[in-house]
Structure 1
Amino acid sequence: MDFKQFQQKYNIQFNNDQLLKQAFMHTSYVNEHRDAGLEDNERLEFLGDAVLELAVSQHLFRHYPDMSEGELTKFRANIVCEPSLEQFSRTLNLGEYLLLGKGEEASGGRERPAILADAFEGLMGAIYLDQGFKKALAFLQEYVFPSIEPGAFSHVMDYKSKLQELVQKDHQSVSYKIIDEIGPDHNRQFVASVSLNGTKIGTGIGKSKKEAEQEAAKEGLKEVSKP
C-alpha cells in the first residue's frame, strides 16, 4: 500500500508512518502476521470515535445556533454512525489502503461497510495521536464537513439515540456491553446487550461492535415500548 501517496493526496505528513499504517490494519491481517508484532486498528478506532464526537459536536454547535440540544444530539448521532462513516470512507477511497488477511480479502472485506467505517475512525485516531486535535479537525473541515447539512443523513436509523430519547424522559440509564464474539477472523461477528437500569432488555448481533449495539437497541426499543 502506498501510504506516501495517501499523505500527498490528502496534504498530511505523518511524523510516525506506522500510525497511519495501523489505521488501516484489520485484525485478520494481524492474525496472519503474528510474528511481526503488529497491532490492529481497533484501539485507534476507539480513539477516533471520541475525536469525531467532539469535532462534529463543535461543528454543529457553531454552525447551527438555532438548533436545540435534542436536535443537535440527533443530528450528531446520524453523522457519527456506521452508515455515514462508511460513506465518508468511500468518498476518500480508504478501501484501497486496507490491510486485510487473505480470507477477509477473498470474502469481499474491502467493500464491507463495517470495515470501511472502522478504517475512517482509525484514521481519525491516528491523525489525532500524530498531529493533534487541531489537525484532525482541519482534515474533517476539508474532506467531511462540506457534505454535512440538515437532511443529508436523515435516512440513517439510529436506534441507540431513539432509545436514549425515550428513556431519558424518566431519568433512566441505558448501558451497552459486548458479551461475545463469534465466527472466524475473516467473518467475525459481535454480540451486544443493552440494559436499562442494570436490567438487560435486548441483545443484537453485528459485523461490528456499533452494528451489534444498534441491533441490541432495536430490540430494547421494542421491549420498553410494550404496554
Structure 2
Amino acid sequence: MKVSADLRAFAARIGHDFGQPDLLVQALTHASIASPTRPDNQRLEFLGDRVLGLVMAEALVRADSTAREGQLAPRFNALVRKETCAEVARDIGLGEVLKLGRSEMLTGGRRKQALLADGMEAVIAAVYMDAGFDAARALVLRLWGGRLDRAGDTAQDAKTALQEWIQARGHPPPDYVQVARTGPDHAPSFTIEVRLASGESARAEAGSKRAAEQAAAEALLERLEGTDG
C-alpha cells in the first residue's frame, strides 16, 4: 500500500518503518471519516491502550524494585492517562496527520485531547501489530522519554497529598464529582472535578475514574501550592 508523504514523514518522526503501512493509515483514521472500505482506529485504540499499560507497568517495576503497589499505581496512572497520551501525540505532530471527517475538522478535531489520545494509543497498536511487542515497547519508551523518570519522583499519590494539604489547614476534605463520561463502552473517558469547600476546583479527563481523580487532584494541588504563602 502506497502512503502519502506526510504519513511517511510521521513514521520517520516516531522511528518506525511500517511493513504494513495500512495499519498506520487505520490508526490515524477517525470514525467521522470511516467507511466499509476504510476502517476507523477504535479497535486499534482498544489494543493500544492495553499494550501501553503493559509497557508502563513493566517499566515501572523494573525501574524501582522496592516500590509498593500503592506507590506504583499513581505513577502508572500519570503515564497512561489521556492527558499524557495527548501530550505525546502533540510532541510528534499526530494531529497534523489525523484523518477526520468534515464535522471534526470544523470543530478543531486535530487539537482535541480525546482524539489525540485515542490516535496515540492506536499508533502504538499499529506498531505492535506490524512488528511485535518489542517494537511497541521501544516506541513507547522512546516517545514517553523523561516522563517515565519523572513519574518516580513522588511515591505519594496526588489524592493523598491533596488531602493532607487540606487537613493541615483545617479545611474539610475535597469532593470528587463525575461531570462527564464519553467514548464507547470498551474505552470510556471520564471527566472528574475535584471541589473544595473554599471554592477552588480543577478538572481532569482519563480513561478511568481513579486516574481522572488523581489527575484532577494533582492539577489542583499544583495550583494551591503555587499560591500558598
TM-score in same-fold range (> 0.5): yes
Q: Deviations over 1:63-116 (max 9, x none)?
A: 122211111112101211111111111111111110000110001111000000
Indicate the residue corresponding to 2:121 in structure 1: 121
Q: Give the deviation of 1:145 after TM superposition.
A: 3.3
Cα 1:68/1:150, change in 2 over 3 Å: farther
Q: Which runs of 5+ in 2 are unaligned?
A: 160-176, 193-204, 214-229
Query: For residues 84 and 139 of structure 1, what CA distance do their matches in structure 2 show?
Result: 15
- The letter for the 2-side match of 1:210 is P
1:3-22 residue pairs with structure 2 within 5 A?
Answer: 3-22=7-26
Number of matched pairs? 171
**Equivalent position SS for 1:212:** strand
CA contact 1:41–1:122 (8 Å) conserved in 2: yes
Cα 1:61/1:151, change in 2 over 3 Å: closer
Cα 1:217/1:158, change in 2 over 3 Å: farther
CA RMSD of aligned residues (A): 2.7
- In the TM superposition, structure 1's runs of 4+ consecutive aligned residues that sit over 4 Å from their partners are 151-154, 213-216
Q: Deviations over 1:169-207 (max 9, x none)?
A: xxxxxxxxxxxxxxxxxxxxxxxxxxxxxxxxx976344
Cα 1:58/1:152, change in 2 over 3 Å: closer
CA contact 2:13–2:92 (8 Å) conserved in 1: no
TM-score (norm 2): 0.66
Q: Which runs of 5+ in 1 are unaligned?
A: 160-201, 222-227
CA contact 1:82–1:210 (8 Å) conserved in 2: no
Residue identity over aligned pairs, in percent, reads: 30
1:24-103 residue pairs with structure 2 within 5 A?
Answer: 24-30=28-34, 34=35, 37-103=37-103
1:99-114 residue pairs with structure 2 within 5 A?
Answer: 99-114=99-114
TM-score (norm 1): 0.67
- The letter for the 1-side match of 2:11 is Q
CA contact 1:7–1:14 (8 Å) conserved in 2: yes
Q: Give the deviation of 1:152 after TM superposition.
A: 8.1
CA contact 2:10–2:94 (8 Å) conserved in 1: no
Q: Deviations over 1:20-56 (max 9, x none)?
A: 01111000011xxx3x611100000000001001000
**Equivalent position SS for 1:12:** coil
